[in-house]
Amino acid sequence: MFGLKTTFFSLLVLAAIAFAESSGSSGCLEGTVISAIRFEGLEHTNPRVVQRELLNKAGEPFSAEKFEAEKLRLQDLDLFTDIEVECTSGLDSLGASHVQNDVGAAQLTYRFQEIFRWIPAPAGKKTDRDGLMIGLALANLNVLGEDIRAEVQYRTSTDPFLDNNEYAFYASSPYLFGLPLGWNLEFLRTDSYDEIRNFQDDSWLLDLDLDYGVSPHLSLLMTVAGRELKDAAFLPEVGFGFAFDFRDSKLDSREGIYFEYMLTHVGEGDDRDISCNVIDEGTTCDGGMGGENYREFLTDARAYYTLWRFVTGATALVRYRMGDVERYDYYYHGGANTFRGHEADSNYLGVHEALLTLEERFVLMERHAASLWGINFFYGVQLVAGLDGSLLWDKGRPGWEDYEGAVYGGIHLVIPALDRVRFEVGYSPDKGEPVFYFGLFDKVTSSRWRSR
């Protein structure tokens, strides 16, 4: 559902040394009747991938408003650096392009500049638990031209170097056999010591997320997963939910609201006899870490409003659990992906969580297309400032003693595949000192999947 979990640091270099303006403006008069639609520049993309996102149709009057909406839909595919449209005369047998001077019939031509497809490159991941992880990746952003993303990668920690390791395979697409059934498959092997929750994460994870579009703004959601964690019981997971999405764009949203509700069951219990003893403020257990058996209620709400270049966003992520939750799955707060007021550690753990954010973005540079050495990409720059709120608690309702607040500011670089790279400084009055953060993806996205 959230695309690839990878980073290619070479994009930062490309964005720093190349620049090209992206037009995207319409060369058609409002009301021009569309006699036919054709595409140019689709070297690696199947035309039906584009066709299903279009709102302007042959035989209907051209609408600039529809083009702006479909342009956002096409940008959400993350396959193109630039998208333009132009009307050409139906009488022009040579295909030479010129804008219609009168409102009449014309052929509508969409011109695309495709993004890079194969990416053998350095890859990394930034988590609050393992910090910065680096490694190698091989990704294809458009398998068979069907908007299927696939990637294999290896990552290891930088501090301590080579101590925490992760092997991953990801695949995703917004369609399945032509149906509006988005899917995201993840296979993850982890061998990492979790210093926040104090256990060795020696695990295998297989996860499948499905998103069926019932209507343009309503989706039914399902998740099925299985996790094999050493010294714990097998942890199956199944969840169902729905989402209302009225945002103008899924990536770099500027207007609209999003609301999601999920109910997930995790685990099946563990009958093993496990005895634990507290020694020097730590806990040691015989027989392993035990299994889990709980239900999780998730609410994910987001709202965006834009005035000129100022984009205001408000987000709330709330997860409440009922049942047996073991310490190795407790939520933690602290870091670029949760609460930008302090780093994550064992003092900030809880069974339930609420993350609240109010953010103001100033679009310093809109998305621009660029090309270097034959590699097409895009980038944009945004200045950000905001407020983070954090609630972590174990039982009942949270109180003020469970709440923390912080302010933050920084700069975001909008790029392909990752949505954005975040450079931020946070400050919490309780800590009294600023902390620098480096993050990937939108924070509301990384908050959902920070443990995987």
Cα separation, 182 vs 176, in Å, equals 7
Contact 306, 255 (CB under 8 A): yes
Residue 95: CB atoms within 10 A of its CB come to: 11
pLDDT greater than 70 at residue 15: no
- Tokens of residue 187, six digits: 């296979």
> Structural domains in the chain?
10-114 (3.10.20.310), 208-448 (2.40.160.50)
Q: Give the residue-averaged pLDDT of 77-106.
A: 67
Cα separation, 447 vs 316, in Å, equals 11
pLDDT greater than 70 at residue 411: yes
Specify the higher pLDDT residue, 343 or 301. 301
The 3-state secondary structure of 350-395, one letter per residue? ECEEEEEEEEEEEEEEEEEEEEECCEEEEEEEEEEEEEEEEEEECC
**Mean pLDDT over the full length of the chain:** 85
Specify the higher pLDDT residue, 416 or 150. 150
pTM: 0.82
pLDDT value of residue 273 = 43
- Tokens of residue 445, six digits: 């996205």
Cα separation, 185 vs 150, in Å, equals 9
Peptide bond into 180 cis (omega under 30): no
Instruction: Give CA angle at 303 (300, 308), nearest 5°.
Output: 155
Greatest mean pLDDT among 8-12, 45-49, 345-349 lies in 45-49
- pLDDT band of residue 366 (cuts 50, 70, 90) is very high
Cα separation, 385 vs 367, in Å, equals 20
**Which is nearest to 138 in space by CA: 124, 165, 109, 118?**
118
Reported as type and span, the H/E element at residue 324 is strand 310-324
pLDDT value of residue 124 = 61
Contact 85, 52 (CB under 8 A): no
Kindly report which listed range (89-93, 268-272, 333-337, 442-446) carries the lowest average pLDDT score.
89-93
Helix (H, G, I), strand (E, B) or coil at 64: helix
Contact 223, 247 (CB under 8 A): no
Reported as type and span, the H/E element at residue 50 is helix 47-51
Contact 79, 71 (CB under 8 A): no
pLDDT value of residue 281 = 47
pLDDT value of residue 125 = 64
**Which is nearest to 366 in space by CA: 53, 82, 115, 54?**
82
pLDDT greater than 50 at residue 86: yes
- Tokens of residue 391, six digits: 């609630």
Kindly report which listed range (86-90, 181-185, 274-278) carries the lowest average pLDDT score.
274-278
Give tens-digit pLDDT for 314-336: 999 999 999 999 999 999 999 99
Q: Amino acid letter at 331?
A: Y
pLDDT value of residue 105 = 84
- Tokens of residue 241, six digits: 């939910």
pLDDT value of residue 127 = 66
Contact 70, 85 (CB under 8 A): no
- pLDDT band of residue 90 (cuts 50, 70, 90) is low
Cα separation, 260 vs 301, in Å, equals 6
Give tens-digit pLDDT for 368-407: 988 887 778 899 999 999 999 999 999 989 999 999 999 9
